Amino acid sequence: MGVYERKQKEKDILSAAIKLFTAKGYHATKMDDVAKQAKMSKGLIYFYYKNKEDLYMAVTKKAYEELTDVFSKILAKGKAKKGIEIIDELVETYFVFIRENTMYHDAVVNFMSIMNLYNHTATKDKIDPLIMESPNFLKLLDLQHEPAKIGIQMISQGVRDGSLRPDLQPEITFYTIWSMLIGFEKLNGPADMERNDIKITSETWKHGFLRLLHVMLRGSLAAPKTAAVQGSLF
C-alpha cells in the first residue's frame, strides 16, 4: 500500500469517526460502527488506530489542527489591521467554528480537562491509560499550544499598534479571552432558556459580551466609571 493510499485510509477513518461521534457521541460509538461507516474491515481500522481512545485522540488532534488553521488565517489576513480588529474577527470566527464544528470544539475542551489532570501528579493516574498510551495523545502535548501562540501574537500586535491597552500581558490576556469564549459557548443554552426572573437571550448577551471585551482590552472611555483600583486588569 502506497503512502497516498495509507493517508487516504486514515482520512476516511477519521471522517467516519467524526460523523459518528457527532451523531451518537463518543461513548455510544463502537469501533464496529466506525468500520461500517468507513466501509472497511475492523482489523484495518485497528491497523491505523490502536483502539477507540487512540482514534478519539486522532480526532482531537485534527480538531486542534483545524483551530490552528483558523487562527493562522485570521492573523495572516490581519497584518494591515489593528490588533483590536483582529480580536473582533477572532471572536466572530470562533463562534462560527463552534456552531459548525461542535464535535471538534467538544474534543478540544475535553482535552483541556485531560490536561488539568495530566499536569498534577496527584491526579495524573485518573486519566484512562489507553489515552496516555495513544501516539496521538503524545503529539497533542505539543500541538495544543499552537492556537494560543497565534492568539498571543494577536494581542501583542494590538499592544504595539496602540489599539489595546499598553499594560496588557499578552499571554494572560489571550488565555482569559479564550476562557471567556469557551464559557460563552457552554452557557449559550441556559441563556436561551426562557425564565421569568432572568431577562437574557444569547443574542443580547453576545452584544454585551463584545462590548465588555472591548472595555477590558481598550480601557474604553465608554466604560462605567468605577473607583480606582491598584494594578491592571490583566
pLDDT score of 219: 82
Tell me, what amino acid is at 156? S
pLDDT score of 13: 96
Given a contact cutoff of 8 angstroms between Cβ atoms, the answer to whether 83 and 163 are in contact is yes
Tell me the average pLDDT across 186-192. Answer: 76
Task: For residue 224, count other CB atoms closer than 10 A to its CB.
Answer: 5
Domain map of the chain by residue range?
1-48, 52-218
Q: At what angle do helices 170-192 and 202-218 cross, to 10 degrees?
A: 160
Superfamily of structural domain 1-48: Homeodomain-like (1.10.10.60)
Residue 3, C-alpha cell as written in the block: 503512502
Distance CA 130, CA 137 (A): 10
Tell me the average pLDDT across 209-213. Answer: 92
Q: What is the pLDDT of residues 102-156, one digit of tens each?
A: 999 999 999 999 999 999 999 999 999 999 999 999 999 999 999 999 999 999 9
pLDDT score of 63: 96
Given a contact cutoff of 8 angstroms between Cβ atoms, the answer to whether 114 and 131 are in contact is yes
3-state secondary structure of 132: helix
Whether the pLDDT of residue 227 is over 90: the answer is no
Which CATH architecture best describes the domain 52-218? Orthogonal Bundle (1.10)
Q: Residue written as cell 491505523?
A: 48
The DSSP output letter for 7 is: H
Chain centre distance of CA 6: 28
Mean pLDDT for the chain?
A: 89
Q: What is the pLDDT of residues 27-80, one digit of tens each?
A: 999 999 999 999 999 999 999 999 999 999 999 999 999 999 999 999 999 889
Tell me the average pLDDT across 3-23. Answer: 92
Given a contact cutoff of 8 angstroms between Cβ atoms, the answer to whether 44 and 9 are in contact is yes
Distance CA 173, CA 152 (A): 8
Q: Is 16 exposed, middle or buried (0-12, 13-18, 19+ CB in 10 A)?
A: buried
From first CA to last CA, the distance across the chain in angstroms is 53
Given a contact cutoff of 8 angstroms between Cβ atoms, the answer to whether 37 and 20 are in contact is yes
The residue with greater pLDDT, 196 or 95, is: 95
**Contacts with 101 (C-beta within 8 Å, 6 or more apart), sequence order:** 63, 66
Residue 120, C-alpha cell as written in the block: 498534577
Of residues 69, 80, 219, the one with CA closest to residue 147: 69
Distance CA 9, CA 217 (A): 45
